[in-house]
Amino acid sequence: MPDYTTLAKTIASLTEGEDDTVALMATVVCEIHHFDDRFDWTGFYRVTAPDMLKIGPYQGGHGCLQIPFSRGVCGAAARTGQVQLVADVDAFEGHIACASSTRSELVLPVFNAQNDVIAVFDLDSDQPDAFTQDDAEALTSILSDVFRR
């Protein structure tokens, strides 16, 4: 299993005292993207209007610029506030193919201290069934530590 304990400590150290959400997102996405070879595209989609997500910050190739809450894996995570662990994106009804190389996806809702969904954190892999429940739990904990302060 990946060393999420060390990753969490690194991110906590790098983000300590920072309160700018975009700066926090940029730092988190950089550290997580380079943490594991399974992570082909890693990024945030921020809630910028009612029922609308916009891209950024992210690492990897281009992504979709905007995603309504009503569409795709990211929209489902934002709409429901629940983790979306998708072993095969082709089997997910309504999947949005921002990159044709994506085979599996893990999308985590990001909450602020008031328990509002402020973004989703999207991890794409070019490998099928790349993500586990352990990944989801560890990354949810890291995101909570950073954004629910």
User: Between 2 and 146, whose confidence is greater?
Assistant: 146
Q: Name the residue among 83, 81, 49 with its Cα closest to residue 67.
A: 49
**Do 83 and 109 contact (CB within 8 A), yes or no?**
yes
Reported CATH class of domain 4-147: alpha beta
What is the value of pTM for the model shown?
0.95
**Residue 89: HSE in the Cβ half-sphere, 13 Å Cα cutoff:** 25
**Residue count (the chain):** 149
Average pLDDT over residues 52-59: 97
* Domain residue extents for the chain: 4-147
Three-state SS string across the chain, please? CCCHHHHHHHHHHHHCCCCCHHHHHHHHHHHHHCCCCCCCEEEEEEEEECCEEEEEEEECCCCCCEEECCCHHHHHHHHHCCCEEECCHHHCCCCCCCCCCCCEEEEEEEECCCCCEEEEEEEEECCCCCCCHHHHHHHHHHHHHHHCC
Is the pLDDT at 100 greater than 90? The verdict is: no
Q: What is the pLDDT, as a whole number, of residue 43?
A: 97
pLDDT in tens, 128-146: 999 999 999 999 999 999 9
pLDDT value, residue 8: 98
Residue 31 is predicted with a pLDDT of 98
20 pLDDT above the threshold of 90: yes
pLDDT-derived band at 97 (thresholds 50, 70, 90) equals confident
